[in-house]
Chain A
Amino acid sequence: MQSRRSFLTDSGGGLGSIALASLLTCDGELHASDSPAKNGDAIGLHHPAKAKRVVHFFMSGAASHIDLFDYKPELVKRHGQASDFGEPVEAFQNGLGPWLKPVWDFRPYGDCGKMLSDTVAPLGLVADDIAFVHNMVSKSGVHSAATLLQATGFLVPGFPGAGCWISYGLGTVNENLPTFVVLPDHRGFGSNGVKNWDSAFLSAQHAGTIIYPGRSEPIADLFPHKAGTFVTKQGERRSQELMVELNREHAATRAGDSRLEGRIRSYELAAKMQLAAPEALDFTNESATAMKLYGLELGPQAWEKEINAEEETYHFGQKCLAARRLLERGVRFVQIWSGNDNGFPRRNWDSHEDVQRDHGPLAMGMARGCSAFIQDLKQRGMLEDTLILWTTEFGRMPSSQGGKGRDHNPFVFTNWLCGGGIQGGMTYGESDAWGYKPLDRSNPTQVYDIHATILHQLGLDHTKLTFRNNGIDRRLTDVHGRVVQELLA
């Protein structure tokens, strides 16, 4: 039997050809989405949109603002001195050792002169496009709760991910692909697994669909499982025809039930997705320049067993390029994860023991991919209406833990945004001299503000995008949130 994928995508006959015919009529370009969405239950726009799509980079395990983006000369000066926060500090693992200077040197980049760490140097190329928020605060120093907070706006599981809300609000542009796509870390999920992106009380069609670029089956059940030894190309076509006929007959005697027709249609869409998804993830027509830009020119290699920059670059770059291709084809929200669970050896950003060891390769891979992605979008004119958010669940302490590591810092951390009407080359909100808490403690930025701002750029009012569940009109921003006008171009 031929490979599951090829038999569908080979030319000539099969389920694929039926799908292809209809695919060609509506695929290819991003449909204008200034008007309210096509999908029946979408909310539609509250005001004109500046952005049409969102990419959300999530560094799982808590990426250190101090070692990547938030330059603290004071720490360099006081490196090795006993840390003194001027107040009692509750640290997660009591990691309150001496002050620890950034593990890498910082240099200025771009016209804005933004100081960036050497380990994220590739981002220097796009520093003038990025707006940094250095006064983010979390409500929890526990990974799971804090990750849920950044991903869903709540500390407990059971709330829809940000992408679900956007799918719910705006509907779909290209029905042949999911509206909200999640590209997990290649090692596995971070804290809370799918709870960060599933639809909770919203309808399941708004859930994040997991896609693994580079795998033979990028979406679960996209092709028949190997147990289906009886499946053939002709059989797929004939059974599709037979099902339509039988289902139509069934529906004809049951007038007035739109679900029956809807279900017939879902099978058509499934067939189209079997073509659309592999096509979207097929890099063969990408130029050599593009492949090089994303660090993919060499393809997968036999990498070291230990976490290393080359491997991180490859996997992250692959996700970034896949994201661009998905966005071009109408996916509205792509969430890209870096970092697996908090286990050992470290496979995420939770560098309690050794910042250099874990952050080094992870940051280099991330920076390379993000930078390529931003440059690529810019070249293609997509950056202006694609909003990019880079985040993590919280920051890390300016004091050391066990000499080379850092403990959790929920009191302040860094996010950055880019594109989609965000003003580039600026910094909004500062942390204090150590990167311990916001400089202005009474005016921190919270995830609610970031979510409100993203929704705003998409043409949605965060106070109006609601869904009633168990007696409450739920919002992505709970009862909080302020559109951060200062960030907008």
Chain B
Amino acid sequence: MSNQNNRYRMQLICWTIVAIGCFGRYTPCLGQLDLHSEGYFQERIQPILAAKCWSCHGPKVQKSSYRLDVRSIAFGGGDQGEPPIVPGRTDASLILKYVSDLNSELAMPPKDSQQPRLTEAEVASLAEWISAGAVWPDSASAAMENPLDWWSFKPMHKATLPNAESNPIDAFVKAKLSDNALTMSPPADPLTLARRLYFDLIGLPPTPEELDTFERSSHVDAEAALDQLVEKLLNMPQYGERWARHWLDVVHYGDTHGYDKDKPRPNAWPYRDYVIRALNEDKPYARFIEEQIAGDILWPSTRDGIEALGFVAAGPWDFIGHAEVAESKTDGKIARHLDRDDMVSNTIGSFCSVTVHCAQCHQHKFDPISQEDYYRLHAVFSALDRTDRKYHRDETHQMRFLTLERVKSETDLALNQIEEPLKRLAGEEYSTLTKRIENAKKATDKNANKGAEFGYHSAISSKQDDEKWVQVDLGKKGDVDRVSLFPCYDDFNAIGAGFGFPVRFKVEISDDPEFENGVIPFLGRSDDTTTADVKNPGLLPMAIHGDREGGKAGRFVRVTASKLASRNHDFIFALAELQVFDRSDTNVALGREVTAMDSIEAAPRWRKTNLTDGIFPAQTNGDVKETLVQERDLLILKLADDATKNRRQQLLATKKQIEADLKKLPEPSLVYSGGIHSGSGTFAGTGAMGGKPRPIFLLVRGQVTQPAAEMFPGTLSALQFRPSVFSLSPEHPEGERRVALAQWITDPANPLTWRSIVNRVWQYHFGRGFVDTPNDLGHNGSLPTHPELLDWLAVDFRDSGGSLKRLHRMIVTSATYKQSSMSNADGEKLDSSNAMLWRQNRRRLEAEAIRDSVLAVSGTLDKTMGGPGWQDFVVEHPEHSPHYEYDLADPEDAKTWRRSIYRFIVRSQTQPWMTSLDCADPSMRVDKRNESLSAIQALALLNNGFMLTQAKHFAERVMRESDDVADQVDTAHRLALGFAPSESRRIQLIDFARMNGMPYLCRVLFNLNAFTFVD
């Protein structure tokens, strides 16, 4: 791209020379008009533009968004970015180049157009006019349509209700229907209504008993029964699970990065759980927004304040573009720019429903969003990357943690201030040592195993406090001086050195191989590894000496781990080598027989015999690194005066103390979120600069190689309810930028925020929003079907504390919602798309609801909430580019029978079965699910292992409940479809079940339209 830019400049220079020559020869007749007068433009210039240019760049057509009838655009430029007319500067006014240089790619009118070219005299006039200052009077500039003159950018207005309906929704909907000679459909029958409500609010089907209860109470008092049911459903934890899925569609949540290699994000799920919790707690919507953008600043001590930031990091991340390409390279710049674009689009798109990403290369073509606005929004996020963030769920711990972290970073900063000048003084010697230290570090980071024989590895345990032991038989009883434990190395889960080394353990010696009699503990008195956690030794061997009296005697030496090492949501015990030294310093364990409580025995890497094979990973260069660090310390201390030395000493002591204090806190939790990344090497983040935001420049045509003016944090400038360029102190911490944006979004006067969410909620209840493009309320979106109602609800929602549950209640208890979904002739004739809501819409269940329903009716649904996602794939080649193999998963794995919201969502290899059912693509911000029908989808529902397995469980369930086939058929039908079969149908189904078996019938029920569609 930079080439293109250079080329441009070159051509411009050449052209200027040509043009000057050209004007030299011609002396255009100026007549009596003053070049600087307003009249000159109208008399001489506008006619040229109108005749030669307007057909493509005028009132009717605006190619490249450029027009020569509106002054601001004529001067400012269209898509191309550069200003075509610069008053007083013929050399910089590109328009002259376009109209005069026939050979240019951008020759205007284009070479192949029918439009006659400008005459040389006309070009000269244009040049003269520009040279004289390009005076263009207001009166000769076409009035632009004001892009702010659009419903969603105007303040909300709560209209008075058009009639006396008790539910405001019905008031507006009925008024509109009657204006169009339509009437509401009758209410759906209680069973239909109940089924609709269950799916709508909790995403699961009602049980036959629940239906019976509701039907009975409806006959007594329909309204009370409905209120009661709605209350019950809104208070079920499954409500949050159902509605969190909608929100995660919008914010494109996933559990892997996507792109090349597609690495997993093991700590993304706390954000998913936050959303579920927030919805179940009916968190005020403004708070919900602010937490997701700036929770760490506004509510730093709360769990929600931190976990909510998963929002910023929810979308995909280009691992290679960040981790393997430096920010200084063009590709690195592009990767980081696109990454921030995702944060910006996700924030404004999700909360405000406008398409700010359209202003990346040029002003938004339709909405009042400038390119500056877009890059100001980049500046809001420019300190952030996507990274795991440490936090404590417990508020006290979190506060302590934050304090310590703050002091730590202050100390680091102070240390840095002392050391920086010394480092500079030390010059090259310092940098050489640093380089050597880096290399030494790398050497230890590499796989240190000498061969394929890693060591002994216990069976995998789900609990950390399971006990595991391994022991060696020395062959005969003897005196033992000391025992050495050698840690393992394994890259699994990026653990590396110290893999599997127990957190707490004991070493014992005995003559009894069962260690029941005569057991002598083999531990020094001071280092009690049984009651305090042991620091992972990396690859350093850990020697356990005998007590003061000297050694112990016995034939068997046993190491028992009482607190296992963490691996990946599970726990193990592994050791590379166990050495037992006698008094003559001979390793008497070498080659001896090993037994263990359990062992994974995966030769050659892992097997018991590896424990005494003499092969273990060596700490390469580790000690060298320490020496080098010392050497470097000495080097700079030599250059310091005493006061500095003392100060440094104090700071180091403080740092050590803080680190010790931090260790006293429990292990922090992690959430993958937007945050300051403190990496090194190619992907550095802003951590090293104390989280100082990266400078952001407006990029001409969106090209990272063409930075223009620096942009400071702000937002959409056309909306004036609140300052759009944030006033922040010069040294403000980056978080203040996010706070400012969050508060701009949640400002009660923001015309977009409240409409956006109400429209989204409406869509999930009716299958279609007032605005059918919920991510776009701008000019390119559709117009609201019921603008007054949308505004009424938006204002009401805002003013009543932003309670989503209140909004649901108002909607689902309305007559509008309760209508039957059956069609009628009048409605079809006058409003076939049902935009005016003369009936309820029949809805097809989403992938998740189908899957959850299958589990629910089969009686296999595990309702456990929260935690890491379940995985219905097997990972192959995890070390480089994980292959997520869904085919290899076992559909009988009960761990996968939890609700679909807890599914581990892979971006590059989306779950094929869910995808065939139009599941949301986690790489896209999905405001509305597609609804497709295809043979592939039918095959998935018929033949997938999940469906066939569950058909069997469903059959087992109904057969457990009764021995009578008729009853079984009845139960199955009612469970799956919500109603009992007719008498004749029952006979037919019994016949089918007798002939083909109950699982077959269950599979048929799962595949029926009545299962997938909700009336």
Verify that A and B bind, or say they do not. Answer: yes
Are A243 and B1008 in contact (CB-based, < 8 A)?
A: yes
Q: Which residue of A lies closest to B342 (CB)?
A: A156
Are A470 and B921 in contact (CB-based, < 8 A)?
A: no
Q: Which residue of A lies closest to B927 (CB)?
A: A470
Report the minimal beta-carbon distance from A436 to chain B, rounded to whole angstroms.
12
- List residues of A (240-259) whose CB comes within 8 Å of B's CBs: 242-243, 246-247, 250-251, 253-257, 259
Expressed in whole angstroms, the Cα–Cα distance for A265 and B943 within the complex equals 17
Q: Which residue of A lies closest to B821 (CB)?
A: A254
Are A143 and B320 in contact (CB-based, < 8 A)?
A: yes
**A201 sits at the interface (CB 8 A):** yes
**B923 sits at the interface (CB 8 A):** yes
Are A144 and B320 in contact (CB-based, < 8 A)?
A: yes
Are A227 and B945 in contact (CB-based, < 8 A)?
A: yes
Q: B1010: which A residues are within 8 A, CB to CB?
A: 246-247, 250
Are A272 and B942 in contact (CB-based, < 8 A)?
A: no
Report the minimal beta-carbon distance from B274 to chain A, rounded to whole angstroms.
24
**B30 sits at the interface (CB 8 A):** no
Which stretch (A70-78, A106-114, A231-239) binds chain B?
A: A231-239
**B329 sits at the interface (CB 8 A):** yes
Q: A90-B330, A142-B335, A204-B932 are in contact. Are A247 and B1009 (CB under 8 A)?
A: yes
Q: A157-B907, A250-B1008 are in contact. Are A198 and B915 (CB under 8 A)?
A: yes
Q: A145-B259, A250-B1010 are in contact. Are A470 and B933 (CB under 8 A)?
A: no
Report the minimal beta-carbon distance from B952 to chain A, rounded to whole angstroms.
7
Q: With contacts defined as CB atoms under 8 Å apart, how many contacts are there between chain A and chain B in the complex?
A: 281
Are B335 and A195 in contact (CB-based, < 8 A)?
A: no
**A221 sits at the interface (CB 8 A):** yes
Are A225 and B318 in contact (CB-based, < 8 A)?
A: no
**B995 sits at the interface (CB 8 A):** yes
Q: B947: which A residues are within 8 A, CB to CB?
A: 225
Contact of A471 among B3, B776, B937, B943 (CB under 8 A): B776
Q: A267: which B residues are within 8 A, CB to CB?
A: 938, 942, 1007
Report the minimal beta-carbon distance from B662 to chain A, rounded to whole angstroms.
37
- What is the total number of residues of chain A having a CB less than 8 Å from a CB of chain B? 90
**A35 sits at the interface (CB 8 A):** no
Are B1008 and A247 in contact (CB-based, < 8 A)?
A: yes
Contact of A225 among B259, B261, B891 (CB under 8 A): B891
Are B823 and A262 in contact (CB-based, < 8 A)?
A: no
Q: Which residue of B lies closest to A245 (CB)?
A: B988
**B29 sits at the interface (CB 8 A):** no
Are A224 and B948 in contact (CB-based, < 8 A)?
A: yes
Q: A204-B934, A221-B913, A242-B992 are in contact. Are A141 and B259 (CB under 8 A)?
A: no
Q: A201: which B residues are within 8 A, CB to CB?
A: 924, 930
**A81 sits at the interface (CB 8 A):** no
Contact of A142 among B260, B892, B925 (CB under 8 A): B260
Q: B335: which A residues are within 8 A, CB to CB?
A: 142, 145
Expressed in whole angstroms, the Cα–Cα distance for A221 and B773 within the complex equals 34
**B1013 sits at the interface (CB 8 A):** yes
Are B935 and A250 in contact (CB-based, < 8 A)?
A: no
Are A470 and B775 in contact (CB-based, < 8 A)?
A: yes
Expressed in whole angstroms, the Cα–Cα distance for A267 and B1012 within the complex equals 14
Q: A144-B318, A191-B260 are in contact. Are A224 and B1009 (CB under 8 A)?
A: no
Report the minimal beta-carbon distance from B633 to chain A, rounded to whole angstroms.
32
**B912 sits at the interface (CB 8 A):** yes
Report the minimal beta-carbon distance from B1005 to chain A, rounded to whole angstroms.
9
Contact of B936 among A90, A209, A265 (CB under 8 A): A209
Contact of B781 among A156, A200, A471 (CB under 8 A): A471
Are A223 and B943 in contact (CB-based, < 8 A)?
A: yes
**B844 sits at the interface (CB 8 A):** yes
Q: A195-B258, A257-B823, A260-B1009 are in contact. Are A227 and B891 (CB under 8 A)?
A: yes
Which stretch (A339-347, A361-369, A396-404, A450-458) binds chain B?
A: A339-347
Most central of A265, A442, A471 by chain B CB within 10 Å: A471
Q: Which residue of A lies closest to B942 (CB)?
A: A270
**B881 sits at the interface (CB 8 A):** yes
- List residues of A (126-176) whose CB comes within 8 Å of B's CBs: 139-145, 147, 155-158, 175-176
Are A90 and B329 in contact (CB-based, < 8 A)?
A: yes
Are A221 and B944 in contact (CB-based, < 8 A)?
A: yes
Report the minimal beta-carbon distance from B239 to chain A, rounded to whole angstroms.
27
Are A193 and B262 in contact (CB-based, < 8 A)?
A: yes
Are A142 and B842 in contact (CB-based, < 8 A)?
A: no
18 additional contacts (CB under 8 A) given A145-B331, A200-B924, A231-B1000: A145-B259, A156-B923, A158-B921, A175-B935, A191-B259, A221-B936, A221-B943, A223-B943, A230-B1000, A267-B938, A270-B938, A270-B939, A272-B935, A341-B881, A342-B260, A342-B881, A410-B331, A471-B355
Closest 5 pairs between A and B when the two form their complex, measured CB to CB = A471-B355, A193-B908, A144-B260, A343-B880, A341-B881
